Amino acid sequence: MEASATGIVQIGDRGQSVVDLQSALQDSGHSHVNADGIFGPITEEAVRSFQQAQGLSVDGIAGPNTFQALTGRSEVKSVSTETSTSTESSTSGVIGTAQGLIGTPYSWGGTTPAGFDCSGFLNYVFAQNGQSLPRTTQAIYDAGTPVSAPAVGDLVFFQGTYNTSNTATHAGIYIGGNEFIHASSSGVRIDNLSSNYYQTIS
């Protein structure tokens, strides 16, 4: 197993270092790997394939030797690791389910495709993919693990969307490109985190 004082990237890790790894794997011919920032089985298999082709120790872990061969540098940025059992396939399932609900109307307390509020939308989407979430936005936030930057499939939270409290009052699913999908007051839609409204409440 490769190791490094600056860290390694392995299955279960999430973050920018995983994106860098996945992008490098794509450049090396592994075009089936999505640069979504989640190190799942598909990424691990691509790392193993690359290591074997390069004559490296085949362990599916991207340590300094693997990064050196891929990118010409051996340093690895630290990544945030979550205890979630989600994989690349389940993340894509969550995103696919969420996108399939675009246009569903907003309904206070709604938990079905007849109408959703923001936490009801999250509960429904994740339940369709075999994962259970708490019912309220604040409870979902409390159960999560904060990260410095969202990866695809992470949840993003906001304060003050309908009151001035310090609690989490709104949430959505990050889908990449600084965009997230959520049940807004106008229904399920995709918005950009850089919009003036969300910059003021995030």
**Rounded CA separation 64/81 (Å):** 19
- What sign for the dihedral angle of Cα 144, 146, 151, 152? positive
- What the chain holds in terms of domains, given with CATH numbers, is 13-81 (1.10.101.10), 88-201 (3.90.1720.10)
Q: Answer whether 0.85 is exceeded by the pTM.
A: no
Active-site residue flag, 118:
yes
Say how far residue 175 (Cα) sits from the centre of its chain.
Answer: 7
For residue 160, the model assigns a pLDDT of 61
Catalytic residue, candidates 47, 124, 170, 174: 170
Is 170 noted as a catalytic residue in this protein? yes
pLDDT along the chain (202 residues), means of 10: 46 77 86 85 92 89 79 42 47 92 95 95 93 89 80 82 67 89 93 68 40
